[in-house]
Amino acid sequence: MNKQIILLPGDGIGKEIMESAKYVLNTVASEFGHRFTFHSHAIGGDAIDQYGTPLPDDTINACEQADAILLGAVGGKKWEALPGNIRPEQGLLGIRKKLGLFANLRPIQGFAPLLHASPLKEEVVNGSDILIIRELTGGLYFGKPSERIKNGKAVVDTLYYERSEMERIVEKAFESARLRRKHLTSVDKANVLESSRLWREVVNEKSKEYPDVTVEHMLVDAGAMKLITAPTQFDVIVTENLFGDILSDEASVLTGSLGMLPSASIRSDGVGLYEPVHGSAPDIAGKGIANPLGMILSAALMLRHSLQMEEEANEIEEAVRACLEQGYHTADLSVKNGKQVGTKEMTEAVVENITTK
Ligand code: NAI
Ligand code: MG
């Protein structure tokens, strides 16, 4: 398959880890007989320096025509004094909004060699493999009115959802569960909120189209507790914007390192933006020591969700797992008796595990 991929390296370590993703993708392409064409565009601070705006029109146009988009990270000290509307972060929020990326996917896996770094007990985390799917463009964060009223003596935020917004995210979750262990946990607060009651109705209705997927409803307070006491009981979790924001950060403690976490923001036609969860890490930028695995795992998500290359995505994920088992780690990961390496060597180790399996 021939695919057009837009690269938005951005700032700080974004540029370094993007090289890693490109190298791994080219390796996968040659192993599986695909051709990926990469086009790099500016975003964030890099775009401010070149064009005076964090999200140039040229970048938007390119992204609108792409099969998929990979982003490194944006931001840094240099641009901190700029007014809010031309800060690097606006580039990222702007592109998500422009492209209507309503589904945020965050897979969370406990990699065995890293488990001792998790604040949770190893035996609790071991074997956990969760995909959190969060609705990203509706709910409490976008509802109007959202303001102070009665001369500042009261306040209102609005939780507004269209049924169609719930349907499309729930459908995405069922489709994802079907590709995994076929278990879907829908998290809501249906004992209190009307929006959650409609959410539950939508989930039950959609479940008729996916008889092979087991559905479980869970209230968000109980879900927050189970996520860290019994994480292995989850496969796919689907929830609305606010609950998803909180639960996905909570679940990140399962992995023990920020540098390991990938994410995807996608829409119905499969177009998506893929990026590591971490930022531009200005403190280590330019030193060649950044952990490229969150970025490489984001590239795997891109293959799975935007390019329908499930086997190829699995290949990358298995190679990452194999590297860690062989003891390779970057400075941010503490691995007992491991081999500490830089960004390039870590990438090389992933590539080697892909080509020599
Ligand atoms: P950060 O995630 O960049 O760094 C936090 C800490 O984790 C630092 O000590 C950093 O060295 C380390 N770290 C992060 N990723 C790493 C990796 N791949 N390998 C090794 N170590 C890694 O968050 P911070 O410092 O709060 O923000 C720095 C800049 O990044 C800010 O301008 C912020 O606005 C921006 N940012 C951008 C994001 C994005 O582009 N999606 C997300 C979060 C922050
Ligand atoms: Mg958050």
Domain final residue, candidates 254, 281, 312: 254
Tell me, in angstroms, the distance from the centre of ligand 1 to residue 71's CA: 13
Q: How many domains does the chain fold into?
A: 2
Query: Is 231 domain-assigned?
Result: yes
pLDDT of residue 221: 98
Please indicate, yes or no, whether residues 144 and 166 belong to a single structural domain of this protein. yes
Dist CA 178 CA 42 (whole Å): 36
Q: Is 221 a known ligand-binding residue? A: yes
CA-nearest of 33, 53, 34, 32 to 43 is 53
Domain final residue, candidates 254, 283, 313: 254
Please indicate, yes or no, whether residues 140 and 247 belong to a single structural domain of this protein. yes
Atom in ligand 1 nearest the alpha carbon of residue 276: 41
Query: Is 212 domain-assigned?
Result: yes
Please indicate, yes or no, whether residues 126 and 249 belong to a single structural domain of this protein. yes
Query: Is 202 domain-assigned?
Result: yes
Query: Is 339 domain-assigned?
Result: yes
Please indicate, yes or no, whether residues 166 and 55 belong to a single structural domain of this protein. no
pTM confidence score: 0.89
List active site positions: 141, 189, 221, 245, 249
Question: Which range of residues forms the domain containing residue 290?
Answer: 1-102+268-357
Least confident segment among 71-75, 112-116, 206-210, 331-335: 112-116
pLDDT digits (tens, 9 = 90+) for 255-285: 867 889 999 999 988 899 999 999 999 999 9
Write the single-letter amino acid at 44: G
Asked whether this complex has an ipTM greater than 0.90, the answer is: yes
Domain final residue, candidates 207, 232, 254: 254
Q: pLDDT at residue 49 above 90?
A: yes
Please indicate, yes or no, whether residues 179 and 287 belong to a single structural domain of this protein. no
Give me the mean pLDDT over the 281-309 stretch: 96
DSSP letter for each residue of 160-172: ---HHHHHHHHHH
Dist CA 226 CA 25 (whole Å): 36
- Residue 139 carries which DSSP code? G
Distant-in-sequence, close-in-space partners of 230: CB < 8 Å, separation ≥ 6:
124
Q: Is 119 a known ligand-binding residue? A: no
Q: Is 80 a known ligand-binding residue? A: yes
CATH number (domain holding residue 34): 3.40.718.10
Nearest ligand, measured from the Cα of 263: 1
Query: Is 233 domain-assigned?
Result: yes
Atom in ligand 1 nearest the alpha carbon of residue 89: 34
